[in-house]
Amino acid sequence: MVNSTMVTEFLLLGSPGGWNMTVLYFKILAVTYLGTLLGNLLIVTVTTAYQNLHTPMYFFLGNLSILDMCYISITDPNACVNSLTGNRAISLAGYATQIFLVILCACVELLFLTITAWVHYVAICQPLQYPIIMNPQFCVHMTLASLLSGLVYAGVHTGNTFQLSFCQSHMVHQFFCDVSSLLRLSCSDTRNNMVLLILTFIIVGGGCFGLIIMSYIHIFSTVLKSPTRASVKAFSTCTPHILVVSIFLSSSTGVYLRPSPTSDTLQDRVLSAFYTMVPPLLNPLIYSLRNNQVMEAMGKVMGIQFFLRKC
C-alpha cells in the first residue's frame, strides 16, 4: 500500500493558554487517568478473587474493566505529556496506530456491552437454560469473536483512511487521534470514506443498540409478568448496565454527529474528553455503587466488612 502524503506529522489539541491553566489541565487528566486505572483494576481484582462473582456477567464485567484501562491508556498519558511539554506533534505512523487502537477499543466495548445485555436476558427470561447456554466455552468464544470483530473493524477504517493524501492543514482539532478529524485534513476525495464510516457506524452501532433494546424489552416484560425473587434480584444488576450503555452511546454519538469543528475551542476538548475518558472512569463507579454483590466482594477482598441491606 503506497501512502503518498505531503503532511508527515500532525498537531493535536494542546492545553489552554497560560501556565496555570496548563497545570490545571494536567492535573485533571492525571487524576482522571489514575482514578480510572485504580477503579477498573479493583473491579478486575474483585471479579477474579471472589468466587461468588465467577459468573458470565462478571466475567464480561472484568473484561470490560481491562478494556477500559487499555482504552484510556491510549489517549490520556500522551495528552498529559503534551500538556506539560507543549510538544503536540504526532507522526503519521503514530497517528495511524492511535486511530487503530481507539477504534478497536470502542468497537469491542460496544460488543461487550451488547453481550452483557444478552447475558441479562438469558438469566432472567430463560433461567433454566442459563447454565447450558452461558457455559465457560461460550463466554471465551464470544470474547474472542468480539476482539476479532474489533480488529477487522479497526483495520478496515485505518487502512482506508491512510490511503488518502494529506496536504492541507496539519492541525487536528482533537486531543486524541480519530478518523473524522483526519478526513477533514485530506486533499483527496473523502466521500467514499465518509460513506463507509457512517454506514458501518449505523450497522454496528445501530445493530448493537437494537439488540440491547430488544433484550431489555423482554427483560422488563418478564419481570413485570412474574416478579419472582430471583428475577427481581437479577433485574437489579441491569440498572448499572443501562447507565453504562447510555453514557457510552451518548458520548460517542455526541462526538461523531456534532458539526465539524473548525477552531481550537473548549467545546472540542470537553466533547473529546467525554468520549474517551468519562465512560472508562464512570464504569467501575456505576457497577460498584449500584451493585450489592460487587460492594460485598470488595469488602471481603479488602478485608473490610460491609453490611449492605436492600432498600
pLDDT tens, residue by residue, 85-128: 777 788 888 888 999 999 999 899 999 989 988 988 998 888 88
pLDDT for 1 beyond 50: no
292 exposure class (CB count in 10 Å sphere: 0-12, 13-18, 19+): middle
124: nearest Cα among 241, 22, 32: 241
pTM score: 0.84
Beta bridge partners of 89: 11
Cell numbers for 49:
478473587
pLDDT of residue 267: 59
48 against 146, higher pLDDT: 146
> Helices 238-256 and 206-225 meet at what angle, rounded to 10?
150
The pLDDT, as a whole number, for residue 151 is 96
Whether the predicted pLDDT of 218 surpasses 70:
yes
Grid cell in block for residue 76: 490520556
The answer to whether 53 touches 254, Cβ cutoff 8 Å, is no
Give the highest mean pLDDT range of 74-83, 109-118, 226-235.
Answer: 109-118
pLDDT at position 270, please?
66
Highest mean pLDDT among 141-150, 162-171, 186-195, 253-262: 141-150
For the segment 136-162, the average pLDDT, to the nearest whole number, is 93
Residue carrying C-alpha cell 474472542: 144
* Average pLDDT value for the chain: 80
Least confidently predicted of 7-16, 71-80, 115-124: 7-16
Contacts of 67 (CB under 8 A, 6+ apart): 105, 108, 109, 112
Residues 166, 169: Cα–Cα separation, whole Å: 8
Rounded to an integer, the average pLDDT of 166-176 is 74
Rounded Cα distance between 269 and 188, Å, is 27
Q: Would you state the pLDDT for residue 219?
A: 86
Are 32 and 76 within 8 A, CB to CB?
Answer: yes
Residue 263 has pLDDT above 70, yes or no: no
> What's residue 272's pLDDT?
64
| Predicted local distance difference test score (pLDDT) of residue 154 | 94
Q: Given a cut of 50, is residue 153 above it in pLDDT?
A: yes
Both ends of the chain: CA-CA distance in Å? 61
Write out the chain in H/E/C secondary structure: CCCCCCCCEEECCCCCCCHHHHHHHHHHHHHHHHHHHHHHHHHHHHHHHCHHHCCHHHHHHHHHHHHHHHHHHHHHHHHHHHHHHCCCEEEHHHHHHHHHHHHHHHHHHHHHHHHHHHHHHHHHHCCCCHHHHCCHHHHHHHHHHHHHHHHHHHHHHHHHHCCCCCCCCCECCCCCCCHHHHHCCCCCCCHHHHHHHHHHHHHHHHHHHHHHHHHHHHHHHHHHHCCCHHHHHHHHCHHHHHHHHHHHHHHHHHHHCCCCCCCCCHHHHHHHHHHHCHHHHHHHHHHHHCCHHHHHHHHHHCCCCCCCCCC
Using CA atoms, how far apart are residues 173 and 269, in angstroms rounded to an integer? 8
**235 pLDDT exceeds 90?**
no
Residue 16 has pLDDT above 50, yes or no: yes
pLDDT band at 152 (very low <50, low <70, confident <90, very high): very high
Kindly indicate the confidence band of residue 71, based on its pLDDT and cuts at 50, 70 and 90. Answer: very high
Whether 6 shows a pLDDT value over 90: the answer reads: no
Q: How many residues does the chain have?
A: 311
What pLDDT, on a 0 to 100 scale, did the predictor assign at position 227? 67
The pLDDT score that the predictor gives to residue 78 is 85
- The x, y and z cell numbers of residue 139, run together, are 463466554
The answer to whether 26 touches 175, Cβ cutoff 8 Å, is no
Q: Is the pLDDT of residue 208 over 70?
A: yes
- In DSSP terms, 9 is beta-bridged to 91
Cα–Cα distances (Å) from 212 to 40, 118, 250, 264, in that order, read 23, 7, 14, 36
What does the pLDDT read at residue 66? Answer: 94
d(CA 31, CA 129): 44
